[in-house]
Structure 1
């Protein structure tokens, strides 16, 4: 049976390229997009490249009603969900100094990067449980690593973006807790750092191409039964929490 994947925030950048690469591996892919029009344009682009088994699923990860509607819609279309890639995320308003970041900015960042992932994952767990090899990839960042942030030799040691970094730290904690909960099942749940990639997210200042970043995400979306669970990975291997 053909495997099915859902990628949130997949109408552009790393999410879009992740969709393209999974389609190339013969997955059926749903483009999760908050904006339906942008999602449909992404689907049209992929179909113009020769990929047929791709569709759009409208989902706003900050809106519980939208998430549950999306889960109900997908449940009516597929027998199971094999891969969930929690890719949707925002950087927040800059700067984000710890002593000055506003509660509004902090909450907005966490609503998407943390709470959005938690409620989206919970809504799709029933459909994932129907898969014989369910996979969850939480798209994180090495900026969420407390090990890195306390290591002066870390390349980005001086990048202390309070809201964004702490939201990814919280996301990593969720990965650990969820992976432990499903440790005796067929689930494989990991955090993945795609790396500093040139996207709209950072004004295209990143040094990696989206193709390279998506390859890291896909690597852990398609891992076999002997693959890792409850770990944090970058393109260079395991990353400290």
Structure 2
């Protein structure tokens, strides 16, 4: 394992997180598919190992500072470094719930930001020291074109009618973190990239989405493994996405 690059993925017990772990493991990375529940993480690792992937479990509740810091210490003790951090954990409390911009409550906004924004922030802060010792270290933030102000404000855009303020603005905030930390961590050699997987058939994307999970993680895997990833950028599988 000493020669393997180490990749930590949050919210990776199912969906795109688990599939990204599988594909990255197949490419030779040692993957850590974390989840809030230890049994979920262990079950994910069992599935990955049955598929020939090098993996280990880790419990992380990204909404909890103590949990995140404890996880960082565990990775430090096991590996002494981290090469790839994929901030995949995310929630949406507005899709298929009947909540509208007019009925949206502050509690839904807080809960959405707690995972999507503050969770991403906690992970970056806690794992930066380990990434600084990594090989080609990088942070991949799962954003969304639904957080693109250009797309949301363009009546010709297919995203224009997707008016879910808590989720959309949380992904805009994730893009803000990407820009800020790409600049802040440049001197440490750590790249930070936002990616949009597209509309994917997951719990959040629903069964109506036009992309499979396998298709959705293509851009995640690409940025996680490519030479010189585009730091401070927002991209999907077709190239740059407007902010």
After TM superposition, the score normalised by the length of structure 2 is 0.95
The CA deviation string for residues 39-92 of structure 1, in whole angstroms up to 9 with x for no partner, is 1111111111122x2011100000111111111111110021000000000011
The CA deviation string for residues 184-215 of structure 1, in whole angstroms up to 9 with x for no partner, is 44211100001100012233221101111111
The residue that corresponds to 2:83 in the other structure is 82
The residue that corresponds to 2:15 in the other structure is 13
Cα offset, 1:121, TM superposition: 1.2
User: Tell me, which stretches of 5 or more residues in structure 1 are unaligned?
Assistant: none
The residue that corresponds to 1:40 in the other structure is 42
The residue that corresponds to 2:30 in the other structure is 28
The CA deviation string for residues 139-162 of structure 1, in whole angstroms up to 9 with x for no partner, is 011100001011111112101111
The residue that corresponds to 1:3 in the other structure is 5
**Aligned residues, how many?**
239
User: Tell me, which stretches of 5 or more residues in structure 2 are unaligned?
Assistant: none
Conservation of the 8 A alpha-carbon contact between 1:132 and 1:186: no
Conservation of the 8 A alpha-carbon contact between 1:138 and 1:192: yes
1:202 equivalent to 2:214? Answer no
The CA deviation string for residues 111-168 of structure 1, in whole angstroms up to 9 with x for no partner, is 0000010011111111001013111000011100001011111112101111000000
Cα offset, 1:99, TM superposition: 3.2
Taking a change above 3 Å as real, the CA distance of residues 172 and 95 of structure 1, as seen in their structure-2 partners, is farther
Counterpart mapping for 1:47-196 below 5 A = 47-51=49-53, 53-93=54-94, 94-196=97-199
Please provide the CA RMSD for this pair.
1.2
Q: 2:215 aligns with which of 212, 216, 227?
A: 212
